Structure 1
Amino acid sequence: MALLDVKNVKKIYTTRFGGNQVEALHNVSFSVEAGEYVAIMGESGSGKTTLLNILAALDKPTGGKVYLKGNDLGKIREKEMAAFRRQNLGFVFQDFNLLDTLTLKDNIFLPLVLSGKKYTEMESRIAPIAEQLGISKLLNKYPYEVSGGQKQRAAIARALITQPQLILADEPSGALDSRSTDELLGLFNAINDNGQTIVMVTHSVKAASTAKRVLFIKDGEVFHQLYRGNLTSDEMYQKITDTLTVLTTGGEHRE
C-alpha cells in the first residue's frame, strides 16, 4: 500500500461575485511510496498550491479522495484534524513560520507541547535532530538573531521532531540565498536517505533536480512525471528544463 494515495481529486472554486466556477484541479491521481522524495512543479495558477493544501488537509477536494497510510482524510472529523496533522505531517514553509517571541528550541518544541509530550521526551528528541541539522549551538537564540538558512533549519527540525509519516514542503528554498539553498537541499537528501518521505512544491529547477521523482501539473492535471533513476543532478536538471519548456509552450510531451 502506498503511503500517500491521491485518487481523482478535483477542486472547484466559486468566485465571490457572479458565481463563476474555476476548476483548480481536474482529476489528479498519483501515489507516493514510503521513503520517496517527490517534487511537484508547474506554472503559477497550475493548481500545485491547491494540491498541497489538500494533501495537508487544510482544504477539502470537491471530488475524489486522499489517503494517508490508508486513512481517508475526508472522513477525519474537524475536531480531530489538528491532532492528526501533528501526528502524521511535518510542514516546511517558504517564510519559515517561526514565532519571534520564542527561541528556536521552543519553536521546534511547539508541536510536541501541543501534543502534551513530556519535557524529557522533547529534550531527547531534539538533540539528534539539532546535531544533524547543525543548529545545536543556536537553540537558545531567537529567530531574529539568526540567518534565513538557520531559520529554515529550525523549521525543518520542527517538522522532523514529531516523527511524521510525511513532510510537506512549500517552496522551502524560496527565501534563501544560493549557499543556503544548497545546504537545504543537501539536508533534504540526507533526511530522505534516512527514510523520511518528502513531497515538495517548488518553482526551482535546482531544488526539483535533487528529488527522486518530479510531477508536473498543468491546467489542474498531472501533465507528466520524471523519475531520477541513475541520472545525475545535472542530467535531471536538463530533463526538468526540457519538460517545463514543453509545458509552457503548449506542446505535447515526448519521451
Structure 2
Amino acid sequence: MPLLEVRNLKKVYTTRFGANQVQALSDVSFSVEEGEYVAIMGESGSGKTTLLNILASLDKPTSGDVLLNGRNITAIKDGEICAFRREHLGFVFQDFNLLDTFSIEDNIFLPLVLSRQPHKAMQQRLGPIAQKLGIGEILQKYPYEVSGGQKQRAAVARALITNPQIILADEPTGALDSKAATKLLRMLHDINADGQTILMVTHSIRAASHAGRVLFIKDGEVFHQIYRGQMTNDELYQKISDTLTVLTTGGKDVE
C-alpha cells in the first residue's frame, strides 16, 4: 500500500457572494511510496500550491480523497487536525517560519513542546539531527543572528524532530543563494537516503533534479511525470527543462 494516495482531487473556489467559481484542481490522482523523494512542478496558477495545502491538511478538497498510510486526512475533524498534522507531517517553508523571539533550539523543539514531550527526550532527538545538519554551533542563537541557509537547516530539523511519515517542502530553496541551496539539497538527498519520504513543490529545475520522481501539474491535473531511473542530476535537469518547455508552450507530447 502506498504511503500517500491522492484520489481524484478536485478543488473549486467560489468568490465572494458566489459570483464566480475558480477551479484550482480538476482531477488529480497519484501515489507516493514510502521512502520516495517526489518533486511537483508547474506554472503559477497550475494548482500545485492548492494541492500542497490539501496534502498538508490546511485546506479541504471539493471532492476526492487523500490517504496517508490508509487514513483519509480529508475526513479528520477540525478539532483533531492540528494534532494529526503535528504528529504525522513535517513542513519546510520557503520563508523558514522561525520565531525571532525563540532560539534556534527552541524553534526546533516547538512541535514537541506542543505535544508535551519531556525535555530530556527532546534533547535526545535533537542531538543526531543537529549533527547531521551541521547546526550544533547555532542552537543557542536566534534566527536573526544566522544566515538564510542556517535558518533553513533549522527548519528542516524542526520538520524531522517529530519523526514524520512525510516531509512536505514548499519551495525550500526559494530564499537561498546558490551555495546554500546546493548544500540544503544535498542534505535533503541524504535525509531521503536514510528512508525519509519527501514531497517538494518547487519552481527550481535544479531543486527538482535532486528528486527521484518529478510530477508536472498543468490546468489542475497531472500532466506528466519523470522517473529518475539511472539518470544523473544533470541528465534529469535537462529532461525536466525539456518537459517544462513543452508544458509552457502548450504542447501535448512529451517523450
Bucket of the pairwise TM-score, normalised by the shorter protein: over 0.9
The residue aligned with 2:241 is 241
Aligned residue runs from structure 1 range 165-204, under 5 A: 165-204=165-204
Distance (Å, rounded) in 1 between the aligned partners of 2:254 and 2:116: 52
What amino acid maps onto 1:80 in structure 2?
A: E
Is 1:49 aligned to 2:63, yes or no?
A: no
* TM score, norm. by length of structure 1: 0.99
Distance (Å, rounded) in 1 between the aligned partners of 2:159 and 2:35: 16
What amino acid maps onto 2:181 in structure 1?
A: T
Tell me the C-alpha RMSD between the 2 structures. Answer: 0.7
Deviations along 1:196-222, one digit per CA (max 9) or x if unpaired, are 000000000000000000000000000
Residue 253 of structure 1: CA displacement? 2.1
Gap change, CA 1:122 and 1:94, over 3 Å in 2:
same
**Structure 2 residue matching 1:154: 3-state secondary structure:** helix
Distance (Å, rounded) in 2 between the aligned partners of 1:249 and 1:50: 23
What amino acid maps onto 1:66 in structure 2?
A: V
Distance (Å, rounded) in 2 between the aligned partners of 1:129 and 1:254: 40
Aligned residue runs from structure 1 range 38-187, under 5 A: 38-187=38-187
Deviations along 1:56-79, one digit per CA (max 9) or x if unpaired, are 000000010000000001221111
Distance (Å, rounded) in 1 between the aligned partners of 2:156 and 2:82: 19
Give the conservation status (yes or no) of the 8 Å contact 1:42–1:203. yes
**Structure 2 residue matching 1:12: 3-state secondary structure:** strand
Runs of 4+ in 1 over 4 A off after TM superposition: none
Give the conservation status (yes or no) of the 8 Å contact 1:243–1:253. no
Deviations along 1:151-193, one digit per CA (max 9) or x if unpaired, are 0000000000000000000000000000000001000000000
Comparing 74-83 with 215-224, which one deviates more in the overlay? Answer: 74-83
**Structure 2 residue matching 1:190: 3-state secondary structure:** helix
Give the conservation status (yes or no) of the 8 Å contact 1:41–1:216. yes
* TM score, norm. by length of structure 2: 0.99
Distance (Å, rounded) in 2 between the aligned partners of 1:59 and 1:77: 12
Is 1:25 aligned to 2:25, yes or no?
A: yes
Percent identity reads: 70
Distance (Å, rounded) in 2 between the aligned partners of 1:133 and 1:218: 35
Distance (Å, rounded) in 1 between the aligned partners of 2:16 and 2:153: 39
| Unaligned stretches of 5+ residues in structure 2 | none
Is 1:251 aligned to 2:251, yes or no?
A: yes
Distance (Å, rounded) in 2 between the aligned partners of 1:43 and 1:103: 36
Distance (Å, rounded) in 2 between the aligned partners of 1:25 and 1:89: 22
Give the conservation status (yes or no) of the 8 Å contact 1:60–1:74. yes
**Structure 1 residue matching 2:16: 3-state secondary structure:** coil
How many residues were matched structurally? 255
Residue 254 of structure 1: CA displacement? 2.7
